[in-house]
Each structure stands twice: as C-alpha cells, then as structure tokens.
Structure 1
Amino acid sequence: MIDIDKKLIVEELSKIYTALSIDKPYLVSLIKALKILITEKPDAPAIFTTDKELVINAHFWRNLELNIKKFIIEHECFHLILRHAVRVKELHDRRGVPTNISGIAADVVVNSLVKIPEEFKDKVITPELIANLLKMSINEIRRMSMEEIALLLYRREDEILSRVTPPSDIEYSISILTGSSTFNYEVLQEGDYELYGKKGQDFEEELRRRLLNALIYAKLIGKVPEGFNREVDWMLKSKVDWRGILREALREGFTGSFWRTWLKVNRKMPDQLPGHKVYTTPKILVLLDTSGSITEKELDTVKVVEEQLLSQH
C-alpha cells in the first residue's frame, strides 16, 4: 500500500494540465491519454517512465513544490511520447553509444522544449550548457535530434562526463526495459483505451499518429518548438522505399490495363459489347498542401523534391 493521498495528486495533476493548456495546449491531450502509475521507491527518481507509462514516485513527490511538479511531469511526458528510453537503448545496441551519454542528449532535447524553473536551472542539463561544450550555437542544438546530439557527445565522451552529470531518469527507465529493476505500483490515471488497448507495433503507430496530430495542432496555433518538430520528424520518418512502391503501383496500374468504351468497336461482338481502350502513361498532376499545417520550410522541401523528380523524367 502506497502511503500518499492519491486524490490530492489527481487534483495537482488537474492544476498542472490547466497550466499546460495555456503554454502547451498541444501537449495536454497527450498527457491525459497516458497511463500514470504511482509507486514509493527511495532508490528511484522522483518521476520516470516505463516503455508505456509515466510513474510518479511518492517518496519524493510529496516534498516538491507545484511548479517543480509541473516541470518534471512535462519533462518526463516528453521523454515518454518521444520514446527516449527506447531510442537510447536502441542507440546503445546499434551504435555502442553509452546510455549515460544518450541520456544527456535526451535531456538536452527535452529541456529545450520546457520552461525550466529558475531555482532548478543549476540542477538540470540545459541546451546552453551542451552548446557551449560542443562550441555550437544554441539554434544548431535545437535543430538536432537526440541521436545526432548523442553521437556528437560520444566523440568527446570523457570530456562531457567530466563536466556533466548524466540524468538518472533515463538510466532507470532503461533498467526497467531490460528487467533489471522492478517496482510495485498503483494506477493513478488509467489512460486512453484507444492507445493502451493496443500492443507492440500497433501501440507505437497509434502514439505516432497522436504525435503527428499534436504537431499539426501546434503549427496551427503557432506554438511549435523547433526541437519538438525535429524529434517528431525523426520518429515519423519513413523507413519505406516510397519510390519503389510508387513505381510498382504505376507498373501494376497501367501495364496491360484497359477501360471499356462504346467509342471503340468490340471486334468479337461489335453490336453487343463495348470495345476497350488500353491505358497509356498518364500525365501526372502534383497537388501541394499549403494549409496552415505546412510550414514554408516544408513547402520549400516539397518543391525541391518535385523539381528533382521532374528533372529525371
């Protein structure tokens, strides 16, 4: 049994959601859709994530001010919806990047998206700190994905670790993913069944769909942080050879295909059935979406790709 008033935490979460609805309205629907658990574990961070859930540690939560609670909820929510723990583990498995280095990169990304309380700025890893260590501009850092930052940090691993203390939340989340850490919990917020009723890849696809909707909404209201845009783009980037699929679709759709018409004479039954006309390669019409969900930068990118394709044919 966890010794804390869960009703009080629910009330605090409601206040946090209200505050977020003002400065990050696109994030609120995502947080409300998440399953939130509560535990009491002295050796765990104040808040951390599993592969799917947000976990509040009552051992530390009860002693925090509300503005700090808002910050860490927002912070860990970004870690969860951007799949940072999963991506950090993948980067370690595929490229050998230490999880503590990638954890620093994940915090850089998230802390560029949230407003850090003044009294907390000397306790967290800021984009400004890493930009200074890497001798890069803050805007360059904010345009990079977690993986890109991690690989840069990895090249200067010893120097970075001598200057920066890796965050404990990502490391702990990975220990849960690998099964080396466990915890008892109670459910605080059930989450959206349309999301949590799905498993495996279906869950990931549903989460990506919601992320895309959040990004579009943020663009429409003009409140999309550049780092969020870059991270979502990375998660949504196609791993499918769309050129190959388009090529096969055209080949299948137009090779030997025909349509029936009375304007052509049917050679076998001229007065009883319509003739047929074989499809030829059609003209291609390009339609560009210029609505509010498409930025000038994205529109320019589409135009460049279009011109490249046209120049090849």
Structure 2
Amino acid sequence: MQEPVDPPSAAHGPDPAAVPTDADGTQNGESREIDRLRREVRDLRGKLRAHPLISHAQGLLQERYRLPDAEAAFELMKRCSQQHNLKLRNLASAVVSVPRPDDERGLWFPGRSGRTPPPLKFLPGHRPDKVNRSTVLKQVLHQALAFTEAPMGDLQTMEPAVGLQMEHHRGLSEEFLDFFAVVEEGTSCSLAARRRVRVVSDVATDPAVSEPAREMILAVGSRTTHSVPMLSPAGRAVGVFSLHLPQPRRDLTRVQATAMDGMAAQAGRWLEWHQQTILLNALEDLHRRGRDLRSGPGRRHKE
C-alpha cells in the first residue's frame, strides 16, 4: 500500500475528466481502494466466523497437552499449519472433529502407510504430491468458468465441524459472499452435496431454493446455477463448485457437462487423498510437538 500523500491543489492537479474511470464512472484509484477495503472487511468477517472453531481447538489442545494457556495452543496450531501449508481453520476443524489419540504417548494414527496421490490431468506440469491445495481449488473454478464461459462461480469444501464453506469465488458481490460464507440447506450446492450428483437450478422458480437464498442469488444476476459435487472414491462429498449463468434455464452442452463431471471427479479423489495424507501428517506432527511440550523442554525433539 502506498504511503498517503497530500492531495494536489486544484490548480496543479489532474483534470478529473482525464483520469481513467470504470464503467460506472468511478475513478480507478478510488475503485481499487474500495475493493481493497471490501477484501479487508471480508477477511475480518472470515476470522470472526473461524474464531469459535479455533478457540474450541485451542481448549482441546491446552487440556490434552497440559499447555500453560490458550496462546501456547494457538502457536502450536499455527506452527503446524504453516509447516504443512494448511489453513489454520482447516487444521482446527480437524482437531475438533477427529477422535483424540487412543494412546497419547504414541502415534495418533498408528499403522498408517503412504498413499499415492491421484493424478490431476487438468493441472499439467504440477506434481499431485507437491501442489498446494489452494492452487488445485482455484484451478478447478478457473477452468470450469473458462470452459463453460460462465461469468460467475464459487467453490466450497466440506469441513467436518462446519459444513460447506466458501473457498474461492469470482464475479460475486460482497453481500453474496457474506451470506454464503457457510452454505446451509436451501441451495443447489447443498442439494448437490447431499444427492452427490450435478444439480441444475432455475433460480427464480426452483422450489428447492429457499427464499432468502433465491433473493441473494438473483441479486447478483444469476438465473441458472450448475452445482457440481466433488466426491471421494467412496462417494462422500468433499466439496462443490457452482457455475452462475445470467440466462434462465441455460443448459451446458454435453461436452461441457462431461468435462465438469470429469474434473470434479479428479478433484474429489485428490481432496480425499489430501485429507487422508497431508492433513493427517499435520495432526501427527501437532501431536508429536504437543507431547514434547507436555514433557518439558529437556525432552523435546530437535527440529
């Protein structure tokens, strides 16, 4: 962010008519500043929503490893989330939802063997065992929008302690993102996750869409939604991405629908692998560090 400067005097300042403007007439600099402030507000709201979950996880870890305070538990989670390239709320959700270790002196997940990551054909040039989770999710949404020429879309993942939670989006209003930060019943994406099939919804008339959700979706100009579930090999919904189209009752072509289902299947298998490998690795590391802290500084493993 640039350092603030005093505005130029009218005599020496630029001609307002010569300053590039957006389509609505707002000057570009002002528009960028508004966008930045909106992102900050959205980030703050996200932190507020995650706070109860993280606090719950802090309490569990503080009790389990006899940590001196909640701050020590937070630092433990923060360090492990950074080490394993995970979002803090994802790690906290796992701490809360995964059964505690049977033997707190040993491994949290004994007998676990390495698993080969499934291929990601829509991400050529990326090793599936090295690529970042956020990169995979962003590319799913990006390629889905590009291939279907949809102007708007969003992607949610299934968090055990939360439900469907917004991860990535494009072309949607701040009000929309705030309303659907956590997706509940009464939407095509929740229906797709429950039925585990692609769901097409005529937003204005679909009886499965709740009235508050319908009003919010119509307000952003979406008339047809295509919600595609990402499924694990066992058929469990691990996420959903939705395409928002401005035309009523707009169908995808057969080629587009086949491509969306195929990409969703690849992403679903990979997300399941990530949960069962990378996330469990992080929990195991957290458990080791927590045991070391409980044992005292003289018995901690060297890193």
Q: TM-score band (shorter)?
A: under 0.3
- How does the TM-score come out when normalised to structure 1? 0.24
Bigger radius of gyration: 1
With normalisation by structure 2, the TM-score equals 0.25
- Richer in helix (by share): 1
